Amino acid sequence: MKTTIKVMTVVVFAAGLLGIHNTLAEGHYDVKTVETLGGRVLSIEKTAPSNRRGYWINALLQTGQETVAVQLGPAWYIDNQRPRIQPNDTIKVTGSRVTVDGRPLIVAADVTKGNEFLKLREATNGVAV
């Protein structure tokens, strides 16, 4: 009996984490501001936004015109995805340009690094994959 309860608790907890990922990402994504830009990754940062739980991964991207933060997603999710985005990588990002905590950023829907593709959410509605 105790084993069954533990297994069910783990399954419910894991399903809850997946739901958190979807809810948090969708909160800032605006389909009206979707754009594609490319450039060189200057740095990768773990941030702890005030309105979110846990750490999130942002890439600081230098394009031809600007330097902009790109929100990839929660660390627990991004750390297990491929391709890994690292400083000095050249990437192309499609995502929603928004303002969070008074700063502009791109909430990434997908990232292309060379011939590798990382899909994070649907560009048309911001729902996480």
E strands of the chain, at which residues? 34-47, 56-62, 67-74, 90-100, 103-113, 116-119
Q: Is it the case that residue 14 has pLDDT exceeding 80?
A: no
Give yes or no for a contact between 56 and 108, defined as CB atoms under 8 angstroms apart: no
Cβ 34 vs Cβ 109: under 8 Å: yes
Quick one: DSSP state of residue 48? -
Rounded to whole angstroms, the Cα distance separating 40 from 62 reads 5
Measured from the Cβ of residue 73, the count of other Cβ atoms closer than 10 Å reads 21
List, in sequence order, every residue forming a beta bridge with 57; answer none if it has no partner: 46, 73
The CA distances from residue 79 to 60, 83, 89, in Å, are 17, 10, 16
Question: What's this model's pTM, rounded to 2 decimal places?
Answer: 0.75
What would the pLDDT profile of 52-97 be if each residue is shown by its tens digit?
678 989 999 999 999 999 999 999 999 999 999 999 999 999 999 9
Over residues 7-14, the mean pLDDT reads 34
Among 42, 117, 121, smallest CA distance to 82 is for 117
User: What pLDDT digit, counting tens, does each position of 25-63 carry?
Assistant: 446 789 999 999 999 999 999 988 666 678 989 999 999
